[in-house]
Each structure stands twice: as structure tokens, then as C-alpha cells.
Amino acid sequence: MARYLLERLGLALLTLVLLSLIVFFAGSVLPGNPGRAILGPFASEHAVALLDEELGVNRPLLSQYWSWVTNFARGDMGTSYQFRAPVDSLLMPALVRSLKLALVALAIVVPVSITAGVLAALYRGRAVDRTISVAALSLSTVPEFVSGIVLIVVFAIGLKAFPVTATAPAGTSPPAELRYLILPAIPLVLILFGYIARMTRAGTLEALDSDYVRTAILKGLPRSVVIRRHVLRNSLLPTITVVATQTGYLVGGLVVVETLFNYQGLGRLIFTAATNKDFPMLEAGVLLIGIVYLAATFVADVLYTVLNPRIRLQGAES
């Protein structure tokens, strides 16, 4: 198990290095001059050249990359061109806010989706299965901006059950802040419900048709014991992978939801950086999302190894 996890960790680090190369060199070829972007269109060429030299953007690309990645590893993400402030002082609070919204969405969608997927598999071919399958497929096709607008109009403006904005006032307690995050989390729940429920259903059906489940039933074990001890443990393996792969989207891909609910999250900040050619903010933000995604994938690998003894045996044999 330790060898397998070390291999996965090494692969994650290699992926992170490749991602940093892609992010940096992709940002370096984007149109726009940093000095010109900071000083404005009316600045002289001499002033722009001096600022470019101060920023180091006129050095060879490999030298720029090495300085950027080593500074990033030490926690120095550079200075934002747009806000004239350290990038980490802007990105880290936005990351925390995005993680809060992602955790609320996951806390709702994971148990609901798993329960629905298991029920659909247990009653395959019946009305329960068809209802859950149709609902999962239909909800996953509804864009976030459509469901978000409907939720705002009905529950925030009409019923006044929730705040219109997702940003809680400063000093708000965590229980009170949760009320601000529930409404923007629902569009994410609707999108992810279909993926997770369908994957859970497929995994549960595969487990129900396996030999070890048939053997457990033939031994006379109660149905509830078979499902709890044998079916769920194995049917959740694909679901863990799905949840992990959606983490990057939940942390950095919520531009529409964050804009609708006026939430200053990581996705909205990166979108603003891309719009304003704020390359230090853009590159650090994308790399930060990659780190979160790889961390979530590694946690999924750990859980997968714990739940699946075959991986431990394969690792021992190799």
C-alpha cells in the first residue's frame, strides 16, 4: 500500500511540474505587454521598458520560469498587475471562500446522490429506478445560470428565505454564514447529482452481480447485511473517483455561480485576471487549482486503496 501511494504521489508531483510549465509558457505567449498593461496606453515606451526590466519579463523564458516556480514554492506568488498587491494575499482568501462553497455543495450532493444511486440499483427496472435515472439525466443538463436565476427569483426575492448574495458580512458566525452558501450550492448540487448518482448506480449493479455477493446471499446472510458489508464497500469505489475529479471544478470553475451570487471566489478572481491580462494572478491561480485537484485525487487514491484490498495485493506482488 505504501509503495502504491508513493508511486501515486510521485506521479502527482510530476503532473504538477508539467502543469506549471504549461501554465507559465501559455501565459507568456498571450498577447499583451505587462508594462503597458500596468502603466496604461498613454505611457512612454521608455517608461514601459523600464518597468518591464524591473518586472523581469524581458529575461529569457527559462530564467523567468525558474524564478517564478521557485518563488511559488516558497510561497511568493508575485505581485498582481491589476491590484498592485501580493498575489497570495488575494488568492488565498478566494481559495478559502471557494472551498467553503465546495464543501457545502459536497455535503449535500454526496449523501443524496449515493442514496439515490443505491436505491436505483436495488430497484432496477422499476419505477424508482426510472424516476431517479430520468431525474439524474435531466438535472445534469440544466446550466448553472438557469437554475441559479430561478433560485434567486423564487427563494431570495420572492420568498425571501435566503439572501440574494452569497457573501456574508464580516464577523458572521459559521452557522449564519451557512445560510448564505446554501442557495449558491444548489445549482452545483443539481449538476453533480446526475454524475454521482449514475456512477453509484453502475457500481452498485456491478457489485450486486458479483460472485461474492451471490455467495453471501447463499450463505443466508440478511439482505441488509449483504448490502452494508459487501455491496456498498465496493460500489462506492467509482463514486470516490468521480467526487475527486469534480473537486477542481468546484474550487476553480464556478465563475457563473460566483458572478450570479456576487461571491468573491477563486474562479471569479481568475476570470478577472484573464480579462485584465494579470499574468501573475492568472498563472498562480491556475496552478493553485491544479494543486487542489491533485491533492483531492491523491486523497481519493488513499481511500480507494483502503477500500479495495486488491490494490494492496497488487502493490505487494510488484
Helix or strand run (H / E) with residue 147: helix 144-151
Reference 248, options 300, 294, 193; nearest CA is 294
Give the amino acid at 42.
F
Sequence-ordered list of residues with C-beta below 8 angstroms from that of 109, at least 6 positions apart, any chain: 188, 189, 192, 193, 196
- Give 211's DSSP letter: H
Sequence-ordered list of residues with C-beta below 8 angstroms from that of 135, at least 6 positions apart, any chain: 116, 193
Q: Which of 74, 103, 132 is the last residue of a domain?
A: 74
Q: What is the pLDDT of residue 47?
A: 82
Q: Is 174 helix (H, G, I), strand (E, B) or coil?
A: helix
202 & 259 share domain: yes
Q: What is the pLDDT of residue 255?
A: 86
Find where cell 450550492 sits.
185
233 & 264 share domain: yes
- Give 278's DSSP letter: -
Q: What is the Cα–Cα distance from 135 to 196, expressed in whole angstroms? A: 12
CA R_g for the chain: 24
Reference 92, options 81, 107, 108, 80; nearest CA is 80
102 & 225 share domain: yes
Tens of pLDDT, residues 27-49 = 777 666 677 767 777 778 788 78
137 & 229 share domain: yes
Q: What is the pLDDT of residue 317?
A: 52
Angle between helices 309-317 and 279-307 (to 10 degrees): 90
117 & 230 share domain: yes
116 & 245 share domain: yes
42 & 184 share domain: no
In a domain, 4, yes or no: no
**Number of domains into which the chain is organized:** 2
Cα-Cα-Cα-Cα torsion 214, 236, 190, 155, nearest 10 degrees, comes to: 100
Q: What is the Cα–Cα distance from 295 to 160, expressed in whole angstroms? A: 38
Q: What is the pLDDT of residue 305?
A: 77
Q: What is the pLDDT of residue 187?
A: 92
In a domain, 301, yes or no: no
Helix or strand run (H / E) with residue 94: helix 87-122
**Alpha carbon of residue 313 to chain centroid:** 31
The parts of the chain modelled with pLDDT lower than 50 are 313, 316, 318
In a domain, 253, yes or no: yes
Tens of pLDDT, residues 211-222 = 878 888 888 888
The domain of 54 spans 34-74
CATH number at residue 120: 1.10.3720.10
Tens of pLDDT, residues 109-149 = 999 999 999 999 989 999 999 999 999 889 888 888 899 99
Cα-Cα-Cα-Cα torsion 44, 46, 52, 58, nearest 10 degrees, comes to: 130
175 & 205 share domain: yes
Q: What is the Cα–Cα distance from 207 to 300, expressed in whole angstroms? A: 20
